[in-house]
Structure formats: C-alpha cells, structure tokens
Amino acid sequence: MRDSRATKNSTREPRGGNSTPMTLRLCKIVITMLSSVFLLVVAFNNVTDPNSNYQFVRHVLGMDTTFPGNKLMYRSIQSPVLHKAFYASIIGWEAVCCALIGSGAFKLWKVRRAPHMEWKQAKGLASVGLTASIILWYFGFMTMGGEWFLMWQSKVWNGQDAAFRLFVFMALTLIFLNQADE
C-alpha cells in the first residue's frame, strides 16, 4: 500500500532537509529577472540618450568606417529615415524582450512552490523573451551588423564584442532556466 504522504509530497517541492530544487528555482528566477532589468536599462538609455546609440546605428548601416575600396558598399544604407527606423525597431525589440522576460520571471515567482509540471510550463514566457533577445544580439547585431554591414571592419563603430557578450549571457540564462531542477 502506498503512503499517501509520499504521493502528496511527490507533486510538491521537498520540504525540510532537501531544499536544492527550491534554491535552484530561486536562482533561476533571479538570473532571469536580471536579464529583464538589464534590457530595461538598455532601453531606458536608448530612449533618454538617443543620439549616442543612434550614431552607432547610423555609422554601421552607412558602412562609412569600413575598409577603403571595399566591394560590398552596395549594402550600405544612407537614408536617415531608415537609420531612425532601424534604431527605433532595435529599441522596440529590446523593450518587448524586457517585458517578456520580466513577465516570465514574475510568473516563475508566482509558481515557485508549484508542482514540477506547473513550474516547467511557467518557463515558457521567459524562454520566449530570452530567445527573442538572442535573436537581436546574434542575428541583428552579429549577423546583420557584423557581417552584412561589415561592422567588424570598423575600429570605431564595432559592437561585435558587446553583442557577443549579450548573446552569451542571454543564451546561458535560457539554458540554465530550462535545465532540470528536480
């Protein structure tokens, strides 16, 4: 005969002696929330000091600091309207990622003591936000900025190292969040 206490406890987090799953859940919530806070600061900086990073976007898209005589200059975008549109879309993407990750972290906080399946399902929103952020840094900055617009050739307007750091941080957070903690 099964002990009803064992069945009841198997659907909830361990109490008493083994607090590892709860500790890991709390760590995952904190690290996930830090990703959201980081993006909040980035978006805030871009909105309150728009010219600093706008100049970065303008120079990368204009390809005006790439190697002289480069045969890929046909890719450059010279239109200030398109520069501003790209910049606004980057800020919007950052804000959406921030909101998704932050909402996901809050959802995780609310279910931190829930059974395994409920906890696992609650990871979805933060995972989508982290993936969207990875897309921004990996595809938007490293692939498009770095390779298509040849940002890597610029000594002044090269954001590849920063983009790589952000890609790695978001990717590690996504991996950590989705690892088993039971």
Residue 7 has pLDDT above 60, yes or no: no
Give the pLDDT mean for 33-49: 97
- Which pLDDT score is estimated for 182? 66
Residue 110 has pLDDT above 70, yes or no: yes
Tokens for 169?
């941080």
Residue 100 has pLDDT above 90, yes or no: yes
Amino acid at 54: Y
Query: For residue 65, what is the DSSP state?
Result: T
Q: Give the C-alpha separation, 139 to 129, whole Å.
A: 15
Measured from the Cβ of residue 55, the count of other Cβ atoms closer than 10 Å reads 14
Torsion of CA 138, 90, 144, 178, to 10 degrees: 20
Could you tell me the CA-to-CA distances from 117 to 25, 157, 165, 181 in Å, in that order?
Answer: 13, 46, 32, 12
Query: Could you give the angle at which helices 50-62 and 80-110 cross, rounded to 10 degrees?
Result: 120
- Which pLDDT score is estimated for 19? 73
**pLDDT tens-digit map of 142-174:** 999 999 999 999 999 999 999 999 999 999 999
- Which pLDDT score is estimated for 8? 46
HSE-up of 91 (CA within 13 Å, CB side)?
A: 20
Please state the pTM of the whole predicted model. Answer: 0.87
Residue keyed to tokens 């109490």: 15
